[in-house]
């Protein structure tokens, strides 16, 4: 039983169909809420920019730096993009200072953060693109829900038509037994 559906095994067939439909709707809504909201390309330039080279010679990108800090990179990028540039640079600078494996990071964190924050999309561009992405997600989820509903209605219709009694039962064929010695004579006009 899916929580919130109030359906159980003792319901009638039509009610069970309604419960299944309700469960499909709840699952679709749950999947939409769980879907990543920030995996959009508008932050790619910022997220994949290089922060610097660590003491072993490896390149550290913004996305890997945020992942090492156990932060969701797209959420953090969206939060930084909503801030004024100076505040975003200050916040990112504080995050970058947490990387002792980059020898020069403590001295240059402010300059590196300012360079990286300049790669973020402007807040106005972010709002307009997120509104477009949101409307595309709503349209896609609505189409998915309607498609699932249509399939479900067809399945219920097929199920009821298979179990419904025929309106005009076919008459039983009369069996005519003729002795083998009597052949059926052709009818003459």
Number of compact structural domains in the chain: 2
The predicted structure's pLDDT at residue 53: 86
- Whole-angstrom distance, CA of residue 18 vs CA of residue 186: 61
- 70-116 tens-digit pLDDT: 999 999 999 999 999 999 999 999 999 988 888 888 889 999 999 99
Residues 49 and 119 in one domain: yes
What integer pLDDT is reported at residue 45 of this predicted model? Answer: 94
* pLDDT higher at 45 or 185: 45
Q: What percent of the chain has pLDDT over 70?
A: 56
Same domain, 109 and 46: yes
Question: Is residue 33 domain-shared with residue 45, that is, in the same domain?
Answer: no
Q: Tell me how far apart the alpha carbons of residues 48 and 60 are, in angstroms, rounded to a whole number.
A: 9
Tell me the per-residue pLDDT of 3-31, one tens digit each, with 9 for 90 and over.
444 555 554 555 555 556 666 566 555 55
In a domain, 149, yes or no: yes
pLDDT of 2 reads 44
CA 114 to chain centre: 34
Note whether residue 140 is domain-resident. Answer: yes
| N-term to C-term CA, the chain | 73
**Which of 75, 98, 125 corresponds to the end of one domain?**
125
Q: What is the pLDDT of residue 146?
A: 73
Domain extent for 151: 23-37+131-162
Q: What are the tens digits of pLDDT across the range 135-189?
A: 677 777 677 777 777 777 777 877 777 776 666 655 555 555 555 555 555 666 6
For residues 48 and 31, state if they share a domain. Answer: no
Evaluate whether residue 11 is within a structural domain.
no
Tell me the β-bridge partners of 59: 53
In a domain, 158, yes or no: yes
* Domain co-membership, 135 together with 88: no
| Cβ neighbourhood burial of 166 (10 Å; 0-12, 13-18, 19+) | exposed
Of 20 and 117, which is predicted with more confidence? Answer: 117
Higher pLDDT, 10 or 60: 60
Burial of 51 (0-12, 13-18, 19+ CB in 10 A): buried
């Amino acid at each position: 039983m899916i929580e919130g559906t109030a359906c159980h095994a003792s319901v009638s067939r039509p009610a069970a169909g309604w419960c299944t439909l309700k469960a499909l709707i709840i699952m679709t809504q749950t999947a939409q809420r769980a879907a990543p909201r920030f995996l959009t390309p508008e932050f790619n330039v910022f997220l994949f920019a290089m922060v610097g080279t660590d003491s072993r010679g490896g390149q550290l990108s913004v996305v890997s730096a945020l992942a090492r800090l156990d932060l969701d990179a797209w959420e953090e990028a969206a939060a930084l993009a909503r801030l004024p540039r100076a505040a975003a640079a200050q916040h990112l600078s504080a995050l970058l200072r947490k990387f002792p494996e980059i020898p020069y990071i403590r001295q240059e964190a402010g300059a590196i953060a300012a360079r990286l924050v300049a790669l973020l999309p402007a807040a106005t561009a972010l709002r307009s693109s997120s509104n477009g992405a949101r409307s595309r997600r709503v349209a896609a989820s609505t189409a998915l829900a309607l498609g699932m509903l249509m399939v479900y209605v067809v399945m219920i219709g097929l199920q009821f038509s298979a179990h419904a009694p025929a309106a005009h039962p076919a008459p039983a064929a009369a069996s005519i037994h003729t002795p083998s010695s009597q052949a059926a004579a052709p009818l003459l006009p």
